[in-house]
């Protein structure tokens, strides 16, 4: 495994670890709320959060298959499923509407709980979109990547409306697609559908663009630092070697090193023969000064 792939693996583990920790924190808040209030309000958010992980898992499948050169149905099927389940991630933002009906806990606690779920859902959806946009960029260029991102966010805006107000689920498009399409087409001229879809799409696009720019700059800075470190390691001389001085022969030690070596050898030799010094002092003629 090369250095670049190792760094990519570490980044993936770090990103997934942070998202998993945020998800566990959100679930912990629901459990804490149940302990304090004695009711199961907001328990449905846990299932919504599970659904928010689905597009990220599918995006990782697509990303890894593209890196291995896989194409055809093995790529189209997870891509279609990713687009189908993507609205589940930002859908968690709309759960703030529950604050109007549930008021058995301090408002600050419920706001913290809903914000944690909404933020985690957004990050799960945006990371999956970032991976798919990267696939489109590698395949057809940067413009195609942004077209894919805008199309996916627009579809998410419409999907959020279908889920919040018409109560359709993602898998309903697989189980009963005709009923879903018929229900959506009957409301094409609805101001609520048009307004919510446009505003939601605009919000998602602004939020995703901010994340994309910050993440792109951070990754570029990290890559530049890694490249600089690699160049520095390549140009650094081997450990223990010193540049040759003018006129010196290859393999010759500098004079300072030779002098230090001779001093150490003499010191070791004097320490290794204490008995010899004592025998020499005992055989001196009488009358001589020591």
In a domain, 158, yes or no: yes
Query: Is 62:135 a contact under the CB 8 Å cutoff?
Result: yes
Tell me the per-residue pLDDT of 163-189, one tens digit each, with 9 for 90 and over. Answer: 999 888 988 888 998 998 898 888 888
**DSSP alpha helix (H) spans, the chain:** 3-37, 44-67, 73-85, 107-140, 142-164, 172-175, 177-185, 191-235, 255-272, 274-282
Q: Which of 154, 140, 139 is nearest to 208 (CA)?
A: 154
Residues of 30-51 as b/e, b for ≥16 C-beta within 10 angstroms?
A: beebeeeeeeebbeebeebbeb
Tell me the per-residue pLDDT of 77-134, one tens digit each, with 9 for 90 and over. Answer: 999 999 999 999 999 999 999 998 888 899 999 999 999 999 999 999 999 999 999 9
Range of the domain at 41: 8-175+187-230
In a domain, 170, yes or no: yes
In a domain, 247, yes or no: no
pTM of the entire predicted model: 0.74
Q: Residue 286 and residue 29: Cα distance in Å, rounded?
A: 96
| Number of domains into which the chain is organized | 1
In a domain, 277, yes or no: no
CB-based contacts of 99: which residues, under 8 Å, 6+ apart? Answer: 107, 110, 111, 114
Q: Residue 205 and residue 211: Cα distance in Å, rounded?
A: 10
Tell me the per-residue pLDDT of 118-170, one tens digit each, with 9 for 90 and over. Answer: 999 999 999 999 999 999 999 899 999 999 999 999 999 999 999 999 888 98
In a domain, 180, yes or no: no
Q: Residue 204 and residue 160: Cα distance in Å, rounded?
A: 11
Q: Which of 120, 115, 112 is nearest to 88 (CA)?
A: 120
In a domain, 282, yes or no: no
Residue 227 pLDDT: 73
Query: Is 193:228 a contact under the CB 8 Å cutoff?
Result: no
Residue 7 pLDDT: 63
Tell me the per-residue pLDDT of 22-66, one tens digit each, with 9 for 90 and over. Answer: 999 999 999 999 999 988 899 999 999 999 999 999 999 999 999
In a domain, 240, yes or no: no
In a domain, 285, yes or no: no
Q: Which of 130, 52, 140 is nearest to 93 (CA)?
A: 52
Residue 3 pLDDT: 54
Q: What are phi and psi of 239, to 5 degrees?
A: -65, 135
Q: Residue 113 and residue 135: Cα distance in Å, rounded?
A: 34
């Amino acid at each position: 495994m090369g250095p670049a792939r190792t760094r990519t693996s570490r980044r993936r583990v770090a990103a997934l670890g942070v998202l998993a920790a945020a998800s566990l924190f959100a679930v912990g808040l629901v459990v804490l709320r149940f302990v304090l209030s004695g009711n199961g309000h907001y328990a449905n958010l846990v299932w919504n959060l599970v659904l928010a992980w689905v597009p990220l898992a599918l995006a990782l499948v697509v990303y890894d298959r593209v890196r291995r050169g896989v194409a055809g149905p093995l790529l189209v099927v997870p891509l279609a499923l990713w687009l189908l389940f993507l609205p589940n991630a930002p859908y968690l933002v709309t759960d703030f509407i529950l604050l109007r009906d549930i008021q058995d806990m301090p408002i600050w606690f419920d706001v913290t709980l809903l914000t944690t779920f909404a933020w985690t859902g957004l990050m799960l959806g945006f990371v999956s979109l970032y991976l798919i946009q990267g696939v489109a960029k590698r395949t057809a260029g940067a413009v195609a990547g942004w077209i894919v991102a805008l199309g996916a966010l627009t579809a998410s805006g419409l999907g959020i409306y279908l889920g919040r107000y018409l109560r359709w689920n993602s898998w309903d498009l697989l189980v009963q697609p005709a009923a879903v399409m018929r229900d959506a087409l009957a409301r094409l001229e609805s101001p609520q559908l048009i307004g919510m879809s446009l505003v939601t799409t605009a919000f998602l696009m602004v939020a995703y663009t901010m994340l994309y720019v910050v993440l792109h700059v951070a990754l570029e800075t990290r890559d530049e630092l890694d490249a600089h470190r690699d160049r520095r390691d390549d140009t650094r001389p081997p450990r223990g070697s010193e540049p040759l001085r003018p006129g010196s022969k290859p393999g010759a030690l500098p004079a300072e090193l030779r002098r230090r070596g001779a001093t150490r050898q003499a010191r070791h030799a004097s320490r290794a023969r204490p008995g010899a010094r004592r025998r020499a002092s005992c055989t001196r003629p009488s009358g001589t000064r020591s």
